[in-house]
Amino acid sequence: MIRVLQGEPWLFEGHAIVLGPWEAEKQLDQITLDQLPCWVQIWNLPPSYIDTEIGIAIGGSHWGSN
């Protein structure tokens, strides 16, 4: 299961499948699946833009964080 969660994003017939760890103590309406990690490739980005701060500004979050 860890491999599946770490291997995101997953697609089925072109549709995203949002996964999260099972939390048996929670009711279904208490579980939030509101994030979908994805890769974005930007072509011809000027070298001066290849920077963590610029990446955060473009992507909206820090690499590897939840």
Q: pLDDT tens per residue, the chain (66 residues)?
A: 677 777 777 888 988 888 888 888 999 888 888 877 777 788 898 999 888 888 888 777 544 544
**Cβ proximity of 29 and 42 under 8 Å:** no
**Cβ proximity of 31 and 20 under 8 Å:** yes
The gap from C-alpha 9 to its chain's centroid, in whole angstroms, comes to 7
CA–CA separation, 37 and 29 (whole Å): 22
